[in-house]
Structures are given as C-alpha cells and as structure tokens.
Amino acid sequence: MEFDLATGTALLERTPATLRAMLDGLPPALMDATEGPETWSPYIIVGHLIHGERTDWIPRARIILAQGDNRRFTPFDRFAQLRESQGKSLRQLLEEFAQLRADSLATLNGWHLSDTQLELEGEHPEFGRVSLRQLLATWATHDLTHIAQIARVMAKQYRDAVGPWRAYLPLLDR
Amino acid sequence: MEFDLATGTALLERTPATLRAMLDGLPPALMDATEGPETWSPYIIVGHLIHGERTDWIPRARIILAQGDNRRFTPFDRFAQLRESQGKSLRQLLEEFAQLRADSLATLNGWHLSDTQLELEGEHPEFGRVSLRQLLATWATHDLTHIAQIARVMAKQYRDAVGPWRAYLPLLDR
C-alpha cells in the first residue's frame, strides 16, 4: 500500500486512545511485565513513544522541510525512556503521550504538505537518504508495531495459564 | 503469571474499546488488508471475535459449570465469520462485538466464581480435560493475540512505504 497523508494521519491520531483503552487501569504487575531480560514492558514502550514524539518524528520532518546544508538527523536514543519515565505513573505517561501526539498532529496538519514536499529528503545517520514520505510512513508503522508488541507482551504472561491451548496460540512462543 | 479473575476480567472488558479506538473510521482498504492469501484482515478478525462470543467462551464455561455427564465442547468454527459478517459494516461489527462482550461479562460476573469452580473441568475435543481457569485465561489471551494480529496486519501494509526503515521493523517481515 502506498503511503497517503490522510490514512497515515488517521492511524497516528488513533494511537493515544488505543493505548488508553488497552492499558489504563490494568494492574502494575502486567504493565511492568516483559518478554524476558532486555525486553520492554508496556510501561517502557509508552515512555519510548513519548521520547519519539519529542525528539524523532516532527524534529526530523523539520530538518527535511528546511532543506538546509546539514540534513543529517540526530540519532534516536532508544533508551531515553528508562531515565525520563522515572517516577511517573502509567496514567501520567498516557496523558503526556496524548498531549504530545496532539501537538505533533497539529504541526503536521498545519504544514499542508504537498506531494512534492513528501518527496524531499533528509539524511538518516545509518541509512543515508530517506524521504519525508518514508519518515511519515515509518512513524505510523512504528506505532502499530509497538501496539502489537504491547498486546504480545501481555498475552505471554498467560503462556502457562492457558494450559493446552498454548498449542493454538503460536504468538505466545514467538 | 497466574490467572486471576480480576485481571482477566479487566483485560476482557478493554477489548471492545481498544478495537474501536484502533479501527473505527479507518479506510476500507486497510480494514480488508491481509498478510497474504488465507490470512485474515482486521474486518475478518472482528467477525471471528463475535463468533467466539456467541459460541465459544461463555457456552463452554456453562458446560464446565453444569458438570453434566457430557462435558465435551462443541468444536469451534474458525470460518463462521466469513458467512456471518456478510453485508455488515465494520462499525456494525464493532458495535455487535461490544454488546456481546458486555453480555458475556455480565454473565461471568454474575457467577461470582470461586477458586474451586475455576478448577472444574470440561472436555476439549482435541486436548481432553481443561479447567475453567484455563478457558478464561485463554479467552483473555485470545483477545490480545488478535489485537496484536490486527496491528501487525496494518503495519505490514506499509512494508514498502517505510523504505530503508524496514530493517528496524522486523515485525513487517514476520
């Protein structure tokens, strides 16, 4: 499927409410559960999405749109949330993410991007030249992969509790 | 993690709102998208959850709780939704699911199940003896695996659109 701005925006808009519906009010033991050492809990993932909102998507789009001499993106810190979420409740993180995402979408919508602008490029620190269209498609896709991850992390906590049904639920062993 | 009724119920309660937040209002092309031949779209998955609500979870729990001579479950039809969803919009399916799930939870909560009841058993057509606790854990887990699947199916539609970022998004090739 080609990326179009209307569908991409529709996906991005839905993520805060989806996370709230999935997670708000669940027991802390489940929000802190992981898939094993060095893997992320739902709580950590929400913090990661917040950090992306602050430092990744819109800031990188701005670099591309400016078309200045230096179009190289700042590398993304995949572990920032381990510091930045400290002391915050999951509910606080969900609210913070919803506010930041609303701000991001207001900025994005305010740009009224043309197809020509979507083809403008920046420089990814690892991949080299990438287009604004690819960046925006990645933003929406990144949300979806983390929603899938959160559901999978929670599902895996019942890997033993489901008994023999585990054979029908291959995601529990993935 | 052990299955307890409070957490399981909290998960089951959240699924209708999660699906609505994720899916309601998205373009039909995305709701009908799949991971390839013989795989399911978000639209098909919501129909599958509806069929489970009607014929699987609560009906099987009733068989267990009755402890009659025949405790064998009726096999579940994994393809019923291909008939039963015909002619219905995604929004109708989301509403139907929400209503059925609310009814299921009212029934479940009305039982005030004891730990002893959770250990009662029925007969799964393939696995043999399974407990009510395992059935309820499977119900909640099954929801989560399908939420993960829906997010994955949608994410995969942008497999090409994300360009080189595909290397950072292994879910797109799973």
pLDDT digits (tens, 9 = 90+) for A52-88: 999 999 999 999 999 999 999 999 888 898 899 999 9
Q: Indicate which of B34, B134, B141 best probes the interface with A, i.e. most A CBs within 10 Å of its own CB.
A: B141
Compute the nearest-CA separation of B13 from chain A (Å): 9
Residue B141: predicted pLDDT? 98
Report d(CA B169, CA A82) in Å as an integer.
Answer: 21
Q: Is the CB of residue B167 less than 8 Å away from at least one CB of chain A?
A: yes
Chain B, window 68-127: residues with a beta carbon less than 8 angstroms from a chain A beta carbon: 124, 127
From residue B120, alpha-carbon distances to A168, B67, B111 in Å are 21, 8, 14
Asked whether residue A2 carries a pLDDT value surpassing 90, the answer given is yes
CA A138, A140, A143, A145 torsion-angle sign = negative
Flag if A134 and B162 touch (Cβ within 8 Å).
yes
Asked whether residue B160 carries a pLDDT value surpassing 90, the answer given is yes
For the entire predicted model, the pTM comes to: 0.97
Average pLDDT of chain A, as a whole number: 97
Instruction: Quick: pLDDT tens for B57-89.
Output: 999 999 999 999 999 999 988 889 889 999 999
Residue B46: predicted pLDDT? 98
Residue B81: predicted pLDDT? 87
Q: Tell me if ipTM is over 0.90.
A: yes
pLDDT class of B134 with cuts at 50, 70, 90: very high
Chain A nearest-CA residue for B1: A157
Flag if A3 and B167 touch (Cβ within 8 Å).
no
Across the range B35-52, mean pLDDT stands at 97
Could you tell me the two tokens for B155? 């994410």
Residue A82: predicted pLDDT? 86
Q: Which residues of A touch B154 (CB under 8 A)?
A: 11, 144
Is residue B133 within 8 A of residue B119, CB to CB? The reply is yes
Across the range B121-150, mean pLDDT stands at 98
Flag if A174 and B172 touch (Cβ within 8 Å).
no
Burial B125-150, CB ≥16 within 10 A → b, else e: eeeeebbbbbbbbbbbbbbbbbbbbb
Residue A81: predicted pLDDT? 87
Could you tell me the two tokens for B15? 């699924």
Report d(CA B67, CA B168) in Å as an integer.
Answer: 51
Q: Is A65 exposed, middle or buried (0-12, 13-18, 19+ CB in 10 A)?
A: middle
Q: Which of A45, A159, A147, A128 is nearest to B171 (CA)?
A: A147
Q: Indicate which of B3, B18, B32 best probes the interface with A, i.e. most A CBs within 10 Å of its own CB.
A: B18
Q: Is B106 exposed, middle or buried (0-12, 13-18, 19+ CB in 10 A)?
A: exposed
Residue A78: predicted pLDDT? 86
DSSP state of A67: T
* Pairing label, strands A128-131, B128-131: unpaired
Report d(CA B72, CA B134) in Å as an integer.
Answer: 15
